[in-house]
Every structure is written in C-alpha cells, then in structure tokens.
Amino acid sequence: MATIIVLQDGQHLGPARLGVTLRDHGFKLDYRRIDRDGEAAVPPDMDGAQGLVVLGSPEVPTEDLPWVTRTMDLIRQAHEAEMPVIGLCMGHQLIARALGGEVEKLPKMALGFEPVELTVAGQTETMLAGVPWSVPMFQSHEHHVSKAPPGATVLAKSATTPVECFKAGIRTYGFQYHFEFDRPGITRHLSSLKKTHSDLSLTLDQLEGQLAENYALFARACDRLCINIASFAVPFDRLLAV
C-alpha cells in the first residue's frame, strides 16, 4: 500500500475530502501534526513514502519557523525525486518558496467563494480534467504566490490571486484555494477564524448565502479534482512496486 505523508497544522485543517478520496483509492495516510509536535512532526526524508501533502496553516508562510524550513527541505526532496507533492493554501505557498518562487501578503484577506479561471495550460492539464474552466472556489488566505517557481506552469488564476494553481516538474502541484473542505468544514473554518480575526469581511450569515449559491458546483469540481489526484499522481507501476 502506497503511503502519503500528510503535514497538518490544526484540527480543522485536515485533508477532508482529499483524505477520504486517497484512502478510498488504496493509499495509506501518514498524518504528521505540526500543531502538536512542532518541528519534530516533519520527517527528515521521504523514506518509505510515495507522496507528500502539505496542508494549510494559520502561521505566516514567509516566516522561517523551524518547521517551515524543514517542510521546505522535505518538499525539495520529494520534488527532486519526482514524487507527487500536493500543497493547499499555505502548503501551496511553501512549495513555491521551496522551489524558488515568491510569496507576498495581499492588501486584503481573500475570504469566501470567488471564481477561479483555468489558464490555457490549465484547460489541457490532466490533473484538472473535468474541472470547469470557471468555478467558484473557497478562499481563505492573507498571503499569495506572487511569482511561481522558475519553470512552473500557472494553471489557474482569480481576480485577487494571479497564481491560484501551478504545476512544477512532473508531479508537484500547488493550490491556493481550499478544494479539500466539505460544507461543514467551511463553516467550522470561518468560526475558527473569527476567534483570531475581529475584522473579517464575511459573516456566518453571508457565508451561508454563498454556500447556498455555490456549494453544489464547488463540491462537484472538488470531488473530480480529488479523484484526479488519487488516480494520476502516483504512477501505477510505483503502486505495484510497494
């Protein structure tokens, strides 16, 4: 059974629908909880694993905390070994930094549903097959990838975020939007944010309105993306070899 290392920083920031899909496709998930174990949660290498998922975090992606530095080292190892590397939100930003891209703070926090448009390259990308060329995605970030890594291909963009998704090398993908969240997870996330941010531009009532309008299309697109990741990220011959 192929093992995927999952770096998680917070109870409500788990892999959710992506984790369920990976398990349903026969992957074993090796959870590493940064919020509990700090730097020690990040393994020194990818020995015994066939892939890496780096999830979001409430920390600042441009601050070189010990676990951040160690995570970027692990990202580079997995990337250079041509293993699948999937980053979401801050994970997306750390992949960019690890591979030579740039991350900056937004003038205003991106929060709530926003249309994400596939670029021409994204429209023909296997990992995004079946995902609409324009789809509302749930956003929650104060920083963004302002410059993709050298040689990377930008696959999606939005009005607030020019690099919503990129591909670097063969199997390294970063996603700024939270395609992993299910409906209860989105509500829990906003409730958690309200404990630390007193000036949010989105209320729970407003979120419910956005969910009513956008969730059905969002969920279909995100389910398809998760299936694509589980189906195409790890080559079949590698699965047979483990």
Name the catalytic one among 89, 165, 222, 226: 89
Q: Is 79 a residue of the active site?
A: no
Q: Is 178 a residue of the active site?
A: yes
C-alpha torsion angle, residues 148, 160, 109, 144 (rounded to 10): 0
Name the catalytic one among 114, 125, 164, 180: 180
Locus of tokens 């390259």: 121
Burial class (CB in 10 A: 0-12, 13-18, 19+), 188: middle
Q: Is 226 a residue of the active site?
A: no
Name the catalytic one among 178, 189, 222, 226: 178
Sign of CA dihedral 139, 87, 13, 27: positive
- Classify each residue of 194-218 as buried b or exposed e, where b means 16 or more C-beta atoms within 10 Å of its C-beta: eeeeeebebeeeebeebbeebbeeb
What angle in degrees, to the nearest 10, is found between the helix axes of 204-232 and 16-24? 30
Could you give the C-alpha distances from 212 to 16, 133, 215, in angstroms and in order?
20, 21, 6
Contact of 121 with 108, CB cutoff 8 Å: no
Active site amino acids? 89, 178, 180
